[in-house]
Amino acid sequence: MFNVNLILGSVAALVVFGLGLGAGYKWESGRVAELEKQLSLIEMTAKNAEAKLKRSQQDIDAKLAEKDAEYKQKLDALQQSADAKHKQLEEAIAGKDQRIADLKNQMGPLNANLKALREQQKNAPASDQATLQSKIDQLVEERKALKQQTRGENCVTIPVPKQYINALNGVKS
């Protein structure tokens, strides 16, 4: 009725197959556990890297905000300095017309004295020529100085070409 050898062989085969299946499962589950450990380590490393990135970004943002505040202070200081210089320039230029008028008023008597000395020199004896010429030379120098001052006062209000302003300020075009 039943073949015992066949049954025993089948049972033995089932036992071997079951043992093989169990061993394979255990072996593969060990690999899965190892892979899960690696995956967990990778996830933890990624979280640490992300946290480090956030801290770095916050540090960079803080430094940028600090530098921005520093540059704004410098810009404000430069603006105040420029405003002060502009005010000084405006104050220096103010009254220019009056100073030019004063210089021209000084020029009138000087020219009259110069003309009178030249007339005297024409009729003066040779012994006085050197003295008169010395006075004339002195008046001519004073006249040159007055003209130079007048030109300087006029020059202050003449627009300066941008290329010269940039060169004076060290700006490269």
Mean pLDDT (whole number) for 143-154: 85
Query: Considering the chain, what is the average pLDDT of its residues?
Result: 84
CA distances, 40 to each of 29, 30, 52, 114 (Å): 16, 15, 18, 105
pTM: 0.43
Mean pLDDT (whole number) for 135-139: 88
3-state secondary structure of 173: coil
What is the residue extent of each domain of the chain?
95-158
Of 159, 153, 145, 152, the C-alpha closest to 97 is 153
Cβ proximity of 110 and 143 under 8 Å: yes
Task: Please say if the pLDDT value at position 1 is more than 60.
Answer: no
Cβ proximity of 135 and 115 under 8 Å: no
Q: Per-residue pLDDT tens for 34-71? A: 878 888 999 999 999 999 999 999 999 999 999 999 99
Q: Per-residue pLDDT tens for 73-101? A: 999 999 999 999 888 888 877 878 888 88
Can you say whether the dihedral through the CA atoms of 68, 71, 76, 82 is positive or negative? negative
Mean pLDDT (whole number) for 156-160: 73
Query: Phi and psi of 159, rounded to 5°?
Result: -60, 135
Please tell me which residue, 22 or 129, carries the higher pLDDT value: 129
End-to-end alpha carbon distance in the chain: 112
Of the candidate ranges 78-87, 116-125, 138-147, the one whose mean pLDDT is the lowest = 116-125
Mean pLDDT (whole number) for 3-24: 74
For residues 58, 59, 63, 68, the Cα torsion angle rounded to the nearest 10 degrees is: 0
